[in-house]
């Protein structure tokens, strides 16, 4: 993809000293004020190839300064005009789900199952960030995660490989476009490669055990999709897999990533990963750690200065050949050339209409929200008297979510402000600001409303990097609050502003309706009002399982069957799993309600229920369809989901696998025909050696409204 630049790179490499080359592989953090002059000297010496535009390892949770475009242009000028090789630097920043305009956290965006909207969101994100010197963003995070205790689950696509692959393609295309050299585009970075989301117990940075079979079938598909979409960079993960740190693994970084996935860009370490090889116990020397990492295929060293301080000596003493350095530098230079930095290295900010981005953010947020429960309470009418209670009434910062470096909380409307605006001139909002356990006052606010809306959730500071929790629930004072309100006898609507799924047993039962609003960015509360008042019919669906209790984790839908009668997830003898609780999901993967009623007919197996394996390999497909009628009172979108189960294979296969979905708009009173095709790439699996195989035999196909649908037909591979 980038090899067209190799002739220019060869000429450049021939003129560069070994020191200059290694400098291209060094990415320090942006300097603090007292470090600026020293930093400029490093640039003049050719010792910096990239700048991480942040300070600290957990930039998503730590305050960061605003970007000074003139400052970064000046640093770039020094690199271009005063360094030995005159090579421009590439500036990278954690623009994860928004810049000035913040979009929903990625897990929420995945809940939309509308990846055209996701792509448009990242077009806007790239335009804003690139306008402030950002060339490169460290997104998408594609870590499949089955443990909501892990704080970084908010950054990823959830528990399903297909959703992860769709997210990968949408984000990469949105950020990079058809030509990443355009000034309003950024280079994307698929992270964290690989297995970071499988950390034991959800404890950040900890060890993982992932078999190659699971690696290829669950954890790699999203990263494979990123490579196919042309992602420019990957970031290596902190973790080890089966005792081997990814940072020093030639198998993961070269054999799999480059050999099997065909990736041609460069790999950057996560923050301080190279030096961490010492802590991980595979070496006790920074120089050896540097050699191990670059030999494995890790091209750029983020933050810890291991490469710039050690690789020159490692080459001179014969530990590694200079050709290894050349290979890494070549990859970095290819991307810099593809980004157009040699032709135009400086940022020239341009005006744009941010109101367009805010409108897109509002649409993305509304489409991401999941209606979990509705006993006829929603949508609300704007001429009602509404009691508004809870700690998230006047919250701003948490609505933006973690990993929000450049969004401004003060620009984010509160729920009280948004609801007051929505009912202006019609209804009345009676607000009890904060959590008041004064029973009389709470009752008085509730009594004034025809219905009570409780704004509940978790703080942004409780999510994100290094923010694992042992109990995925809301606080006890919030529980006490809704129990007191329940005693008033009023209808209760719970709006939950959360980053992760929470354990719903002992919570959901109290509410007449529940809207899971996530941390949905700059336009969170406007989008909430759009849904609550019926201006938007909810269409979000869960990309992760919502458990009853935290003690049931891990709980995910695409699990393999047990040989004993205890496949509890699907309701088969659920009492056989635990003697003290039922571990079925409170709300399953793919679940979500609408304000209208959709009626599914039987699956139509379109005249080809049997196809030979040879014909499948040659491109023939199974064609299936289903009629879905909108029998309710609202025009609305429905997510029609197709799952398969291979009941007999050489390896155990999941009881359900999402293989296709279609988000379809259906007007009230009308019926839509939703069509699917299943081909060779959909009906097989990867062996532990990484080989893709499709076996003859019967395949069960399920089409319906979530992963627990029982609507099934069979196809046969002959």
CB 145 within 8 A of CB 153: yes
Instruction: Give the integer Cα–Cα distance in Å for 95 and 110.
Output: 17
**Structure-block tokens of residue 456:** 């509940």
Residues 6 or more apart whose CB falls under 8 angstroms from that of 534 comprise 378, 379, 380, 595, 634
Sheet holding 622-630, edge to edge: 598-605, 622-630, 671-678
Active site residue 179: no
Q: Is the peptide bond before 192 cis (omega within 30 degrees of 0)?
A: yes
Three-state SS string over 434-466 comes to: ECCCCHHHHHHHHHHCCEEEEEEECCHHHCCCC
Phi, psi of 531 (to 5 degrees): -80, -45
Residues 6 or more apart whose CB falls under 8 angstroms from that of 513 comprise 371, 373, 374, 375, 377, 378, 491, 492, 493, 494
Three-state SS string over 291-307 comes to: HHHHHHCCCEEECCCHH
Q: Which of 147, 160, 270, 304 is catalytic?
A: 270
Mind giving me the DSSP string for 170-230?
A: HHHHHHH-S-TTSTT--B-EEEEETTGGG-GGG-TT--B---HHHIIIIISHHHHHHHHTT
Question: How does DSSP classify residue 681?
Answer: G
CB 192 within 8 A of CB 253: no
Residues 6 or more apart whose CB falls under 8 angstroms from that of 222 comprise 142, 144, 157, 161, 164, 165, 167, 168, 190
Residues 6 or more apart whose CB falls under 8 angstroms from that of 275 comprise 286, 289, 304, 306
Q: How many CA atoms lie within 13 A of 426 on its CB side?
A: 13
**Residue 612: how many other CB atoms lie within 10 Å:** 13
Beta-bridge mates of residue 370: 516
- For helices 524-532 and 415-422, give the axis angle rounded to 10 degrees: 40
Residues with catalytic roles? 270
């Amino acid at each position: 993809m980038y090899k067209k630049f190799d002739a220019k790179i060869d000429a450049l490499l021939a003129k560069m000293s070994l020191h200059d080359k290694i400098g291209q592989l060094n990415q320090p953090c942006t300097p603090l004020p007292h470090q600026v002059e020293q930093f400029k000297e490093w640039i003049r010496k050719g010792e910096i190839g990239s700048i991480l535009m942040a300070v600290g390892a957990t930039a998503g949770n730590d305050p960061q300064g605003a970007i000074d475009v003139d400052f970064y242009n000046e640093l770039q000028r020094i690199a271009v005009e005063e360094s030995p090789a005159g090579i421009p630097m590439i500036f990278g920043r954690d623009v994860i789900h928004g810049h000035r305009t913040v979009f929903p956290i990625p897990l929420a965006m995945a809940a939309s199952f509308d990846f055209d909207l996701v792509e448009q969101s990242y077009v806007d994100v790239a335009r804003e960030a690139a306008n402030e010197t950002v060339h490169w963003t460290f997104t998408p995070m594609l870590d499949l995660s089955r443990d909501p205790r892990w704080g970084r689950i908010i950054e990823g696509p959830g528990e399903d490989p297909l959703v992860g692959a769709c997210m990968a393609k949408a984000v990469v295309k949105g950020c990079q476009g058809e030509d990443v050299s355009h000034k309003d585009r950024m280079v994307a970075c698929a992270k964290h490669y690989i297995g970071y989301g499988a950390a034991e117990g959800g404890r950040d940075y900890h060890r993982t055990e992932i078999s190659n079979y699971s690696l290829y079938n669950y954890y790699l598909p999203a990263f494979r999709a990123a490579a196919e979409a042309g992602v420019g960079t990957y970031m290596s993960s902190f973790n080890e897999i089966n005792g081997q740190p990814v940072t020093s693994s030639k198998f993961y970084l070269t054999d799999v990533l480059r050999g099997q996935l065909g990736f041609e860009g460069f790999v950057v370490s996560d923050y301080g990963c190279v030096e961490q090889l010492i802590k991980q116990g595979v070496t006790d020397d920074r120089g050896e750690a540097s050699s191990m990492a670059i030999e494995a295929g890790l091209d750029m060293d983020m933050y810890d200065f291991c490469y710039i301080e050690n690789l020159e000596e490692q080459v001179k003493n014969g530990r590694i050949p200079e050709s290894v350095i050349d290979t890494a530098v070549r990859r970095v230079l290819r991307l810099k050339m593809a980004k157009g930095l040699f032709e135009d290295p400086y940022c020239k900010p341009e005006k744009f209409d941010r109101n367009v981005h805010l409108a897109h953010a509002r649409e993305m947020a509304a489409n991401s929200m999941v209606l979990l429960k509705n006993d006829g309470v929603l949508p609300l009418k704007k001429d009602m008297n509404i009691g508004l209670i809870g700690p998230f009434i006047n919250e701003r910062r948490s609505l933006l979510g973690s990993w929000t470096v450049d969004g401004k909380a003060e620009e984010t409307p509160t729920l009280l402000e948004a609801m007051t605006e929505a009912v202006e001139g019609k209804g009345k909002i009676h607000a009890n600001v904060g959590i008041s356990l004064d029973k009389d006052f709470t009752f008085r606010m509730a009594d004034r409303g025809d219905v009570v809306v409780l704004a509940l959730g978790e703080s942004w500071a409780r999510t994100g990097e290094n923010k694992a929790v042992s109990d995925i629930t809301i606080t006890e004072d919030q529980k006490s609050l809704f129990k007191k309100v329940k005693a008033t006898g009023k209808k209760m609507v719970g709006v939950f502003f959360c980053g992760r799924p929470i354990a719903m047993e002992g919570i959901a039962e109290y509410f007449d309706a529940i809207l899971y609003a996530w941390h949905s960015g700059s336009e969170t509360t406007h989008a909430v009002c759009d849904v609550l008042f019926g201006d938007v019919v909810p269409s979000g669906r869960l990309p992760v399982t919502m458990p009853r209790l935290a003690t049931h984790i891990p709980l995910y839908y695409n699990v393999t069957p047990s040989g004993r009668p205890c496949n509890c997830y699907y309701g088969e003898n659920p009492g056989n799993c635990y003697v003290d609780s039922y571990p079925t999901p409170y709300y399953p993967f793919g679940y979500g309600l609408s304000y209208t009623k959709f009626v599914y007919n039987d699956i139509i197996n379109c005249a080809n229920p049997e196809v030979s394996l040879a014909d499948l390999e040659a491109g023939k497909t199974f064609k299936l369809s289903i009629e879905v009628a909108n029998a309710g009172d609202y025009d609305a979108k429905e997510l029609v989901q197709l799952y398969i189960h291979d009941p007999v294979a050489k390896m155990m296969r999941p009881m359900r696998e999402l293989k296709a979905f279609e988000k379809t708009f259906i007007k009230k009173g009308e019926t839509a025909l939703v069509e699917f095709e299943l081909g060779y790439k959909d009906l097989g699996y990867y062996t532990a050696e990484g080989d893709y195989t499709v076996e003859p035999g019967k395949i069960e196909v399920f089409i319906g409204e979530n992963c627990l649908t029982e609507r099934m037909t069979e196809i046969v591979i002959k």
